[in-house]
Structure 1
C-alpha cells in the first residue's frame, strides 16, 4: 500500500509553503487538475494529504460516507476541561447523529427564511454604510474592517438571538475568525462558551419570536430528548462563528469587481444580474481554497491512487470551481454566466454542505447592491498589486480593502 508521505505514482504535488502557490493558488491547482484528478498536498507541520482537483470527482468524494469529518481539532489543543463538552460540533459528526442535529437547526437557514430575513439584512447594511464616513481618512476607508467584517456577525447575531448588549464582544470574536486568527479564537473559547450560555439563559427568560435560540428552546421543551443543553450551547457559538464566511466573500467580490471594470459596468447597467453575479463571484474568487479534510474510514482506491485508512483528503475548491470540464472559459469572470447543470462547490457538497449558504448569498447580494447604489464612484484606494492578501494556504482573503468613494 502506498504511503502518502512518499512519492508515488506520477502525481502532481502542491507545496503549501511555495510562494507561487500562496500568491496564485488558482494557477497552481489548475495545473495539478489538468495532470490528475488527485494531487498530493505537502504541508508544514501537518503532514501530507491528498486533494481532489476535478469537479465531478470532488462531488463524489464529498458525498461518500467512506470519507468522514471525524477529527476534532479542538480536542487536540489546550482547552479548559469545562469547555470541552461544547467543542464537539456538527462538523465533527456523521450519519444519524449529524442528520438529527442538522434537521433541528436547518429550518432557520432555508432559502425561504433567508429571503424573509432580507429586509433586516438591508437595514443592517444601510446602517453600516451610514457609518462609513466616520471611519474615513482623506476620503479613504478600509471596507474590510468597517463593513465586510461587521455585516455577517451583526446579521447572524440577529438571526440566532444574541442579546444586543453582547454583540460588540461577538464582533471581536467574528473579526478573529474572519482574519484567520485561530490562536486568538482558541484563547477566547472560555469567553465564547460563557457568552453562548448567557445568550441561552436570557432567551429562556425572555423568548423571542423568530430567533434560532428561542426556536430551539421551544423544540427542546416540546421534546427534551431531541436536544441537550450542551448541544444547544454548542449550536449557538458554532452558528455565530461559523456564519462569518460572507465577510471574506464580500471583500473578495468588491476587489474583483473593482479590478474588472467591464464586469462592474455590466452589473451597474443591470442590477437584476446580481444573484447570478454573486454565484459567479463565489465561483471565481470565493474565500475557501480547500474543503475541510475528510478522513478515509477504510483503505480506498481513489481514481487509481491507494488511500490508507485514516489519511486526510480534501477537495481543491480553487481547482474544481475552474474545471473546464464543467465551466466554459472557466478562468474568465463573467457576471452574465448562465446557471449550468453543475454548480460551483464554494459551499462544499453532500451532507456537510454549508448550512448558511442561502443566508450568505442574500447577504452578499444585499451588500453589493447597496454599495454600488450608494457609491457610484467606488474605486480601489491602492494599486491592485498593493492590495494585500493573507498568505493562508486554505483561505483566499484580504488583509484590508482600502477604497475611495
Structure 2
C-alpha cells in the first residue's frame, strides 16, 4: 500500500493572487498533491499538456463526485451537508452514457441558432445599461453592468420572471463562494425549490423560452426527468451567468493593464472576437474544472495519481503555461485563438460557450464605443479577487467613464 502523499497546503493566495501562485506551482511540477483552501485534498493539475490530456481521460470519473464529496464533508464536520442533491445531479457530475444522453437532449434546445438570435437583444440590453450609468463619479462596473447584463440575458433565455432575477443573483454568488456550508445549503435549497415550481409552471403553460423547450424536448421518446430538469437549469444558469460576469470584468481590466491593446481594439473593433478568446486565456473566468476522481491509477506528467483520488484541473494555470503559449503573461488580442482551455475541453466543454462569447464581445465592445475614456478609479493594488476556488472574478471594478 502506497503511503499517503505529503500535500501542499494552499493558502488564500490561490484565490487572491492566482497567477503568481500558479506560476510557483507549475515550477514545482505540472501535477501536485495539495489541500485546497476549501480543505479538499486533491491532485492539482497546473500544466497545459497534462490538463488537456486529463480532461479527456476516461479513467477520471465525474459520476458520483457529489456523493464522495458529501461523505468527505460529513466526516470532517460530523453532520451531513444541506446542499440540494437535485442541483448536484447535473452534466458536470455525470459520465457517459448518462452524460451523452443529457447533453444530446440539451443540445436540441440550446442550439447555436437559439444563441445567435439573441444578439440584437443583448445589444439592446448593453445600450440600456450604459445609458443608465451615472458617470459623474466612479462607477463599479460589476453591479452596474457586468452582473446585470448576463443575468438579464440568461433569465430571458430560460424564461425566468424579472421579479425573481435578483434572488437568482444572490443565490448564485453564495453557491460559487467559500461561504459556510449552512449558507451554501440554504441558497441551494432555495434555488432548487424555486426551480421545481417554475418547471411545473412551464409544463402546464409553456412559453417561447429555453425552460419550456427543455421540458418538451425528447430524443427517441426520451425526456428529462424533473430532477434532471432542475439540475440542468442550475448548471445552465450558473455557467451562463457567473462565467460571463468574470469574462466582462476581467477582460476589461486586462485591457486597462495593457493600454496598447486597448488602443488597438478601439482602432479596430473587428478584433473583438479574437480579443474575447484572449481574455478567456489571459484572465480565465473559471479557475478550476469541476472535480473528478481516478477510477484507477493514472500516470501523467511523470506523476502517478493513485486510484480513488480527487483531481482538479486549474484551467487558469494551464492557460498561462509558457510551454504552450509564448509570453503567456502578456495580453495579445492578435494571438491565434485556438487551444486555450477557458471553456474547458472534452465532453464537459461548456455548453454555453457560444452565448458567453457573444455576450463578452457585445459587452466589452459597447463600453469601448460608448466611452472614449475608461480608467481605473482606484489604484490597481486595491482591486481584490473573489474568495472562490471555482471562479476567478473581481469583487469590484471601480472605473471613471467619460
Q: 1:204, CA displacement in angstroms?
A: 2.6
Pairing 1:109-124 to 2, within 5 Å after superposition: 109-124=110-125
Q: Does 1:36 align with 2:29?
A: yes
Residue in structure 1 matched with residue 197 of structure 2 by the alignment: 198
Residue in structure 2 matched with residue 100 of structure 1 by the alignment: 101
Which of residues 374, 378, 385 is equivalent to 1:378? Answer: 374
Residue in structure 1 matched with residue 393 of structure 2 by the alignment: 397
Please give the alpha-carbon distance, in whole angstroms, between the structure 1 residues aligned to 2:99 and 2:123. 32
Q: 1:185, CA displacement in angstroms?
A: 4.2
**Equivalent residue of 1:78, what SS?**
coil
Q: Does 1:90 align with 2:91?
A: yes
Q: 1:235, CA displacement in angstroms?
A: 2.0
Please give the alpha-carbon distance, in whole angstroms, between the structure 1 residues aligned to 2:132 and 2:176. 20
Bigger drift between 71-80 and 28-37 goes to 71-80
Residue in structure 2 matched with residue 234 of structure 1 by the alignment: 231
Q: 1:6, CA displacement in angstroms?
A: 2.4
2:38/2:178 contact within 8 Å kept: no
Please give the alpha-carbon distance, in whole angstroms, between the structure 2 residues aligned to 1:84 and 1:395. 21
Residue in structure 1 matched with residue 188 of structure 2 by the alignment: 189
Residue in structure 2 matched with residue 25 of structure 1 by the alignment: 18
CA shift digits 1:298-355 (9 cap, x unpaired):
1223333222211111222232112222212222111111234xx1111111111111
2:37/2:389 contact within 8 Å kept: no
**Equivalent residue of 2:331, what SS?**
coil
CA 1:193–1:350: 2 relative to 1, 3 Å: same
Please give the alpha-carbon distance, in whole angstroms, between the structure 1 residues aligned to 2:12 and 2:228. 40
Residue in structure 2 matched with residue 16 of structure 1 by the alignment: 10
Q: 1:148, CA displacement in angstroms?
A: 0.9
1:5/1:48 contact within 8 Å kept: no
**Equivalent residue of 2:6, what SS?**
coil
Residue in structure 2 matched with residue 6 of structure 1 by the alignment: 6
Q: 1:34, CA displacement in angstroms?
A: 4.3
1:389/1:397 contact within 8 Å kept: yes
Q: 1:17, CA displacement in angstroms?
A: 1.0
The total of aligned residue pairs comes to 389
What is the TM-score normalised by the length of structure 2?
0.88
CA shift digits 1:195-219 (9 cap, x unpaired):
212322332333223x211212222
Q: 1:173, CA displacement in angstroms?
A: 2.5
Q: 1:237, CA displacement in angstroms?
A: 2.8
**Equivalent residue of 2:170, what SS?**
helix
Please give the alpha-carbon distance, in whole angstroms, between the structure 1 residues aligned to 2:149 and 2:330. 29
CA 1:205–1:175: 2 relative to 1, 3 Å: same
CA RMSD in angstroms, aligned pairs only: 2.5
Please give the alpha-carbon distance, in whole angstroms, between the structure 2 residues aligned to 1:319 and 1:241. 22
Q: 1:398, CA displacement in angstroms?
A: 1.2
Which of residues 79, 82, 90 is equivalent to 1:79? Answer: 82
CA 1:389–1:200: 2 relative to 1, 3 Å: same
**Equivalent residue of 1:348, what SS?**
coil
Please give the alpha-carbon distance, in whole angstroms, between the structure 2 residues aligned to 1:122 and 1:178. 28
CA 1:374–1:47: 2 relative to 1, 3 Å: closer
**Equivalent residue of 1:101, what SS?**
helix
What is the TM-score normalised by the length of structure 1?
0.87
CA 1:396–1:188: 2 relative to 1, 3 Å: closer
CA 1:74–1:401: 2 relative to 1, 3 Å: farther
Bigger drift between 49-58 and 373-382 goes to 49-58
Q: 1:182, CA displacement in angstroms?
A: 7.0
Please give the alpha-carbon distance, in whole angstroms, between the structure 2 residues aligned to 1:161 and 1:177. 21
Which of residues 255, 273, 276 is equivalent to 2:274? Answer: 276
Please give the alpha-carbon distance, in whole angstroms, between the structure 1 residues aligned to 2:190 and 2:16. 35
Pairing 1:206-355 to 2, within 5 Å after superposition: 206-209=205-208, 211-219=209-217, 225-244=222-241, 245-340=243-338, 343-355=339-351
**Equivalent residue of 2:227, what SS?**
helix
CA 1:364–1:59: 2 relative to 1, 3 Å: same
Please give the alpha-carbon distance, in whole angstroms, between the structure 1 residues aligned to 2:19 and 2:334. 21
2:272/2:361 contact within 8 Å kept: yes
Q: 1:273, CA displacement in angstroms?
A: 0.3
CA 1:182–1:92: 2 relative to 1, 3 Å: farther
